[in-house]
Structure 1
Amino acid sequence: MKVEIFSDVVCPWCYIGHHRLRQAVRLYEGAVEVAHRPFQLDPDGVSGGEPLLGALERKFGGAARVAQMTGHVTGVAAQDGLEIRFDRAIAANTFEAHRLIRLAGRAGREADMADRLFQAHFTDGLDVGDPATLAALAEEMGVEDTGEGAEEVRAELARARALGVQAVPLFLFEEKFAVSGAQPVETLVAALREVEERTAQERAVRVPDGEDCGDGTCAV
């Protein structure tokens, strides 16, 4: 089964969603191919080294409101074993970070690169929009940055817009069934099983006459 997760590496709920999806895949009995898809919460964002809390306070109306928001998500993340430090985080444009994830995917290290970028932003206080920082992270993860991948990222961002993705994380199963938000692990496991059942039913219906079917099932 193919699962695409649309996310941004500066989205705390995406960090939680990635973590929970990994757990769900381990608990699910079938084979799952996970593909990471880019989404930018702020496509016009600038990587200038500004502390994230200051940027959030301007956007959401002050320190009290932001403290409430960040406190909630930090608490949820802690329950999942994830450390989120908004006091260290740096506001960043994430296009180049997504390009690195894309390049890592060519070597089968897409998930590892995404995880490292989440940790870099939320725990280590690194600027994931800074070229030097990204170069160091790529080297650390064994990803060769050839400078390629920008057009692919632009195409995937355009696809996300065409699909109507407006909030992340969003999980797209088999390009048909979507689940939005950092759902509990058990919800994601249930979604995997339900999609498996629905897909099997559709395949059985679509098998043309003459194909090899028996005992009420089809060898697909």
Structure 2
Amino acid sequence: MKIEIWAEVTCPWCGLGSHRLDRAVEQFEHGDEVEVIHHSFPLSSSFPVDQTFSARDALLRQHGVGGSQAEVSTRRIEALAEAEGLSPYKVLDNLVGNTDLAHEFLAHASAEGKNRQAWDAIFRAYFGQARPVFSLDDLLDLGQEIALDRENTRQALTEHRYQRQVRDDAARAQRLGATGAPFIVIDGKYGIPGAQDSDALLDVLRTAWDESHPLTLSTDGDAPVCGPDGCAVPAHS
């Protein structure tokens, strides 16, 4: 089974949604046969490069949400994350910025066979440690933590080798019906918008599995069986 999840690095629902998907796969009876692939869905390309803002300022600029409303909405996400095993999970007191280079870093890491490690590392650094993940040096340091070659990574990012791939990733999600992030697609058939809870995701995983693995009955239909009307005796008895 193939599961694809599109996410934005600084989206708190994306970090939580990725965690919820992990929990669903862990509980899934066929979890060892599931491949999870992360894709990019940048949402901050309009932000200036090389500048960061407080999450409070960003909420006000982008969504017109400020004051107590910002406090209530973001603290709710933090509380949900903590209740589900993500602690600390920093949202309101974090910085935000243009994540285009971060997505290019993630594409490079994926090309090096480290898709999962890179996405886990960037969510952990940003939400768990409130570390910036916007500049070249931020990303080179993060790359070293997952054993990416620093100079090779530097070259890939300064050349913007994966810029087109990031755009194509986001465009594909939109063609599949995504209007925001996170967005999950299971086996190319089931699209799931938003950070659904783990139980809901588990139900969809089971439905998708049953659909792609229909039960095949044995050709031997003459074995003893009991039904609503009693117990049948094989004809050859």
Q: Please, what TM-score do these two structures have when normalized by structure 1?
A: 0.85
Q: CA deviation at 1:87?
A: 4.6
Take 2:79 and 2:65, find their aligned partners in 1: how far apart are those partners? 21
Match in the other structure for 2:148? 143
The question of 1:120 aligning with 2:125 is answered yes
Superposition deviation, residue 214 in structure 1: 7.6
- State the match for 2:186 in structure 1: 173
- Cα deviation for residue 32 of structure 1 reads 0.5
Alignment of 1:43-82 (within 5 A): 43-46=45-48, 47-58=50-61, 59-82=63-86
Separation of aligned partners in 1, 2:92 and 2:70: 12
Runs of 4+ in 1 over 3 A off after TM superposition: 213-216
Cα distance in 1 for residues equivalent to 2:47 and 2:92: 19
CA deviation map 1:31-72 (0-9, x unaligned): 001111111222212340222222213333321111111011
For 2:52, the aligned partner's letter is G
Query: Quick one: which amino acid aligns to residue 124 of structure 1?
Result: Q
**How many angstroms apart in 1 are the aligned matches of 2:47 and 2:84?**
29
Instruction: Provide the C-alpha distance between the structure 2 equivalents of 1:175 and 1:39, rounded to a whole number of angstroms.
Output: 17
* Structure 2 letter corresponding to 1:141: I
Say whether 1:19 aligns with 2:19: yes
Corresponding pairs, count: 206
Which stretches in structure 1 are left out of the alignment for 5+ residues? 205-212
Q: Which residue of 2 aligns with 1:40?
A: 42
Q: Are the aligned partners of 1:3 and 1:33 in contact in 2 as well (CA < 8 Å)? A: yes
Counterpart Cα distance in 2 of 1:76 and 1:26: 19
Deviations 1:131-183 (A, max 9, x none): 11111111121123141322221211121222231122111011111122222
Which TM-score applies when normalising by structure 2? 0.79
Structure 2 Cα separation of the partners of residues 88 and 120 of structure 1: 14
- Counterparts of 2:192 and 2:173, CA distance in 1: 14
Find the aligned partners of 2:205 and 2:91 in 1 and give their Cα distance.
Answer: 32
Q: Which amino acid aligns with 1:32?
A: V
- Alignment of 1:10 onto 2:10: yes
**Alignment-mate amino acid for residue 167 of structure 1:** G
Instruction: Tell whether the 8 Å contact from 1:88 to 1:124 is kept in structure 2 after alignment.
Output: no
Give yes or no for contact 2:74–2:92 (8 Å, CA) kept in 1. Answer: no
Q: Comparing 131-140 with 108-117, which one deviates more in the overlay?
A: 108-117
Deviations 1:161-210 (A, max 9, x none): 22231122111011111122222222212111100111234xx9xxxxxx
Distance 1:106 1:55 in 2: 31
CA distance in 2, matches of 1:87, 1:7: 19
- 2:228 aligns to what? none
SS in 1 for 2:129: coil
CA displacement at 1:74 relative to structure 2: 0.8
Q: Cα RMSD (Å) of the superposition? A: 2.0
